[in-house]
Amino acid sequence: MSNTFVIKGNGGDRNLHGTVRVTGAKNAALKVIAATVLFRDTLNLTNIPEINDTLRMFDLLKDMGADVTNNKRGSYNVFVPNQFATELSPGIAKRMRASIVLTGPVLARYGEVSFPHPGGCVIGARPLDLFVSGFEKMGAKVTIKEDSYIVEAKKGLVGAEFFLKNQSVTVTETFLMAAVLAKGTTVIKNAAMEPEIADLAAFLNKCGAKISGAGTPIITIKGGKLLSGKGHPYKTMPDRIEAGSFLVLGALAARELHITNCNPAHLESPIEILRSAGVFIETKKNEIIVRAPSHLKPVDIKTHEYPGFPTDLQAPMTVLLTQADGESTVFETIFEGRLNYTESLSAMGASITMMDPHRALVRGKTELKGRKLTSPDLRAGLAFVIAAIVAKGESVIHNVDTTIDRGYEDVENRLREIGVNIERAKMVPESVA
Ligand code: EPU
């Protein structure tokens, strides 16, 4: 039996109304959980989203010997002792790509780390070459055996200068953390600039690290000693992808939706694009107010590293384009497998032509009809929820536990509060039914 969502669509009515609160950012929380390995004392982490991925990351640390206590919802104390296993449990790491960021701090503190080729959403090749070359540049020896990697730097890591051929988020974070305990200075050029990276660096600096330039393409880290979390509880920043997904939902189906506890400054690109599609959006310091227009205009979108349009919002945005009057194009530049879900939108009645694996042509406006759907990945899963809300009739979304639950906390209750007809049910998986 797996968890499914049963959604009765509103058939295109703009009747959602109310306030939806954004949780802490998955992709910030996961990295700070990994960063606890850089600390000599207990760290208090707050506003951690209670989702499968963060719970799994804690499991990974516990399995290696960390002491993790859950004080109350979203608040955890973590202590990583000097005696610590250096193998990432394959059972856990294989299910979560983000586990890779743990390799940097573990290698830097303990002089070795081993891990399997990590799993995660099937959205493209997602190679590890930049990790391997980065470890080597910092003086480590990498041995690859079948499906697993063994990395050793018995005398510790040394600062290095490297240029990333791709602006990778997890590579930037892994080496930023590794460099905190390395000897000497590390310079990461063509670093990713996502706000979660600047947030991580700012927090580590508060606790004793010497990182400059995070949030720009050149990050410089001066290596030093273990950090101290005393007097510095960490509060997870708001999830910009969740906020952006609610924004798209509001743009399609809300009389008026208030998205609270978010940071509109992290969503400039989606907000500009939605405005050019004719959506009414008002921003305040920590809130976005959105109203769906009677007609949406077509727009062309192209995903890009931050501050460009995020690949993690590409699928929800494509759902919106099916409801715009005219032709729009979607150009996914980061991951080649991230348009596979469009087939299911076509089955719902959308008119989408794939030009090549990276580009789709969307012709709107088309009426969407409720269907049985199997969510292929986390972000496309939420896009299916949005499509099902806009559609006529009932949709059943399978695979919720392995996709949507990995990234969105209690999403059905929050959606119900703004008027969405959504229920969670246990059903036999679609492939077996
Ligand atoms: N890349 C390489 N070699 C490497 C690593 C990456 O060529 O060794 C390439 C990738 O193939 C890709 C590009 O670099 O073409 C950028 O990918 P990146 O490494 O930045 O992606 P990621 O770090 O694996 C993070 C988020 C993703 C988000 C991307 C892009 C986390 C845990 N994951 O992934 O989030 O889509 O950045 O913004 O932070 C999600 O949350 O659902 C998710 C997939």
Give the tens place of pLDDT for each residue, 354-390: 999 999 999 999 999 999 999 888 999 999 999 999 9
For residue 123, what pLDDT is reported?
Answer: 56
118: phi then psi, degrees, rounded to nearest 5:
-75, 155
Q: Whose CA is nearest to atom 11 of ligand 1?
A: 126
- What's the pLDDT at 433? 36
What is the Cα Rg of the chain in Å? Answer: 22
Write down the mean pLDDT value for the chain: 95
- Do 70 and 48 meet the contact criterion of CB atoms below 8 Å apart? no
Query: At residue 250, does pLDDT exceed 70?
Result: yes
Active-site annotation holder among 28, 34, 121, 157: 121
> For residue 124, what pLDDT is reported?
58
Contacts of 272 (CB under 8 A, 6+ apart): none
Q: What is the SS3 assignment for 410?
A: coil
Residue 308 predicted with pLDDT over 70: yes
β-strands 326-331, 359-364: how paired?
Answer: antiparallel
pLDDT of residue 277: 98
Q: Does 207 participate in catalysis according to the annotation?
A: no
How much distance in Å is there from the Cα of 270 to the middle of ligand 1?
Answer: 19
Instruction: Give, using CA atoms, the residue closest to atom 29 of ligand 1.
Output: 169
Tell the burial category of 429 from Cβ atoms under 10 Å away from its Cβ (0-12, 13-18, 19+): middle
Ligand 1 centroid to 99 CA: how many Å? 12
Q: Which of 128, 121, 115, 73 is nearest to 97 (CA)?
A: 121
Contact 48, 29 (CB under 8 A): yes
* Cβ atoms 160, 131 nearer than 8 A: no
C-alpha 175 – ligand 1 centre gap (Å): 14
* 403: pLDDT strictly greater than 50: yes
Å from CA of 168 to ligand 1 middle: 6
Mean pLDDT value across residues 303-323: 98
Say yes or no: CB of residue 414 within 6 Å of ligand 1: no
How buried is 127 (Cβ within 10 angstroms: 0-12 exposed, 13-18 middle, 19+ buried)? exposed
Alpha helices in 183-278 (DSSP H): 195-206, 240-253, 268-276
Write down the pLDDT at residue 430.
57
Spatial CA neighbour of 280 closest among 254, 316, 312, 319: 254
The C-alpha atoms of residue 373 and residue 397 are separated, in whole angstroms, by: 5
pLDDT beyond 80 at 118: no
> Which ligand 1 atom is the nearest neighbour of the CA of 53?
32
146: left (phi over 0), alpha (psi -120 to 50) or beta: left
CB of 378 sitting under 6 A from ligand 1: yes
Atom of ligand 1 nearest to the CA of 196: 39
Report yes or no: 20 and 259 within 8 Å, Cβ to Cβ: yes
Q: What is the mean pLDDT of residues 108-127?
A: 80
Q: Is the CB of 279 under 6 A from ligand 1?
A: no
- The whole-angstrom separation of Cα 25 and Cα 155 is 35
Tens digit of pLDDT for each residue in 24-64?
999 999 999 999 999 999 999 999 999 999 999 999 999 99
Alpha helices by DSSP H, listed for 111-228, are: 129-137, 169-180, 195-206
Interior angle at CA 331, CA 240 and CA 29, nearest 5: 25
**Alpha-carbon distance values, 39 to 80, 99, 148, 163 (Å):** 7, 18, 27, 27
In angstroms, the CA 253 to CA 17 distance is: 9
Range 89-114 average pLDDT = 94
Ligand 1: centre distance to CA 326 (Å): 32
Residue type at 316? P
Asked if residue 166 has its Cβ within 6 Å of ligand 1, the reply is yes
Q: What is the DSSP letter of 218?
A: E
Cα separation of 431 and 40, whole Å? 48
50 lines ligand 1 (CB under 6 A): no
CB-count exposure of residue 163 (10 Å: 0-12, 13-18, 19+): exposed
Q: Where are the beta strands (DSSP E) in 88-217?
A: 112-116, 141-145, 148-152, 161-163, 185-189, 210-212
Q: Whose CA is nearest to atom 36 of ligand 1?
A: 312
Decide: 242 and 27 in contact? Cβ < 8 Å. Answer: no
What is the distance between the alpha carbons of residues 18 and 225, in angstroms, rounded to a whole number? Answer: 48
Position 432 scores a pLDDT of: 39
Quick: pLDDT tens for 327-356: 999 999 998 889 999 999 999 999 999 999
Model confidence pLDDT, tens digit, residues 121-178: 555 566 889 999 999 999 999 999 888 899 999 999 999 999 999 999 999 999 999 9
Q: Which of 60, 144, 166 to mutate to test the pocket of ligand 1 (most atoms within 8 A of CB)?
A: 166
